[in-house]
Amino acid sequence: MKMKCAFGHLPTIVLACLAILAVPRAHAAVLYSITDLGTLAWDGTYGSAGTDVNDSGQVTGQSRTSSGSWDAVFWDTEASLTDMGTLPGGGFSYGYALNNLGQVTGMSHANNGARFAYLWDSSSGFTNLGALGGTYSVGEGINDNGRVTGYSAKGSAAHAFVWDSSSGMTDIGASEAADSYALDINNNDTVVGKFNDINGQQDIFIWDESAGFSSIGVSSTSVGALDINNNNQVAGSYDAADGRAHAFVWDETTGLTDLGTLGGSDGRALGINDSSQVVGYSLTSNGPYDYQPFLWDAVDGMINLNELVADATGWSSLTVASAISNSGFITGYGVTASGESHAFLLTPTETAWNGNTSSSGGGSTEGTGGGGSTGESPGQVPAPPTLILIGVSSFLLWRPLLRCTGVHHPKKVALRFRWSRSARPAASAPDDHHPCVNEDRRAP
C-alpha cells in the first residue's frame, strides 16, 4: 500500500515536471569585454570620461590635458584617443553627444571668455553654433540628421534651442522668462528637456515641430539627466517624495516607471537605447559613497555592470555608465587598477545564463543590445531558473517515495543559485564637478 501510494501518482508527477521544464528559460544576460580608452593626462584626481557612444563604437567625452584643462576627445579603433581641441582662442572644451556620422556636439570656451555650442567632425573640425543672445550656449544632443539641441543664454534666462545647418539656432523655450534646457534629440527630431515652472519646480518637456512644446506631467524639485530614444521613451532622474534621486523611464502609454536601485537609496539614469535598455549609476547597500554603474531592462531589472564584465583585468571598479547605443556598446568611466579615472567602452561579447552562448560583437542594431542567440553551445550550464525548476521537480517526484518508505527529508532545504563575479572594491562617489556626472546630463 505504501509503495502503491508512491507510484500511483508517478505519471501525474512526471508529466507535471516535464511541463515545468518546458517553460521558456529566463532572458539571457549579456557579458561584455572592456576597452580602456586611456587619457590625455592624469592630474592625480581626474583623467577621462566617456559621455556618448554610437552604433559603431565611436566615443566622445573629455579628458584632462597636460596643462590641467579639459579637452573634448573622440575615440575609435582607428584613431585611438584624439584631442579635439577647442574653438579658436579657447582654453577648454567638452564633448557631450555623438551621432552615427561621427559628428560631436558639446561646449567650448572661445575668445574673450565666451562659451559656445559647437558641431565637430574629424574632417571639418569645429563649427561655432552661436547663441540666441549673449555669449553662452551648450550643445547637449545631436541626431543622425545633424540637428543639434541644447540651451543658450537669452536675456536673463536660459532657453532651449534646436540648430540645423539651414535654419541656424531656433528658440524652442516655453516662455521668455522661464529657464528651459533641451538635453537630447532623437532621429524623429523630437526633443526632451526640462524647464522651471511657476511653482519653483522643474518639469520635463517634449518638443517637436508639429506639436510644439508640451509638459509630460513629471514634476520635481530637481530633474536630472534626460535621454530620449527613437521610440520617444525618456530616461532620467527626479527627486522623489523621499528626497532622493530616482532613476526612471517614461513613455506616453505607461507613464513613469521607477527603476529602483542597486540596493542603495538613490540612482540616476543617463542613457536609453531603442531596445529600452537603460544605463546610469546607483548607490548600493555597501554605504553612502558606493556608486556603481547599472544596466536595466524590463525583463532583468537593474544589474550591476561590474558583474557583467567578462575580464576586468586592469580595473578596480567601473563607476558610471553614461550612454548605451542601439548596437549595445556602453561608455562611461571607472577606476583603473592603478587608481586613475579612465573612460571605458564595453562591447557585448556573449550571452550567459540560458545555455546559449553567442558572439555578438556589438553588431546588431536590433534586439537587446546585439545579444541575440545564434546557436546552442555544447556543455553550457542551464540558467539558474532552470536549475531551480529541476530541483523543485525532482523534490516533488521523490517526496512521496521518501514519505512512504519512512525516509525523512531534511526539515530545511536551502537552494540558492547566484551568478556573480568576484567582489570588486567600492568606487568613490561621483564628483558633482566631474563633467560626466552633472545634473544637466553631462555638462560641467
Q: Which three cell numbers stand for residue 262?
A: 542597486
Taken in order 169, 175, 180, 183, is the CA torsion positive or negative?
negative
Judged on CB neighbours under 10 Å (0-12, 13-18, 19+), 111 is: exposed
Residues 6+ apart with CB under 8 A from 288: 264, 265, 429
pLDDT value of residue 436? 42
Let me know if 183 is exposed, middle or buried by CB neighbors in 10 A (0-12, 13-18, 19+). buried
| Superfamily of segment(s) 32-352 | Peptidase/esterase 'gauge' domain (2.130.10.150)
Distances from the Cα of 380 to the Cαs of 33, 390, 394, 414, in angstroms? Answer: 20, 16, 21, 24
CA dihedral (360, 361, 365, 371) in degrees, to 10, reads: 30
Angle 10-21/384-404 helices, nearest 10 degrees? 170
Please report, as a single letter, which amino acid is at residue 277: Q
Residue spans per domain, the chain: 2-20+385-404, 32-352
pTM comes to 0.77
Nearest Cα to 371, choosing from 387, 384, 356? Answer: 356
**What cell does 44 get?**
592625480
CA distance 269 to 387: 33
Cell of 12: 501525474
Q: Which of 221, 245, 225 is nearest to 235 (CA)?
A: 225
97, 32, 34: which is closest to 370 by C-alpha?
Answer: 32
Number of neighbours of residue 122 by Cβ within 10 angstroms: 14
Residues of the chain with pLDDT under 70: 1-29, 176-177, 350-444
| Spatial contact of 238 and 249, defined as CB atoms under 8 Å apart | no
Cβ pair 322, 279 in contact under 8 A: yes
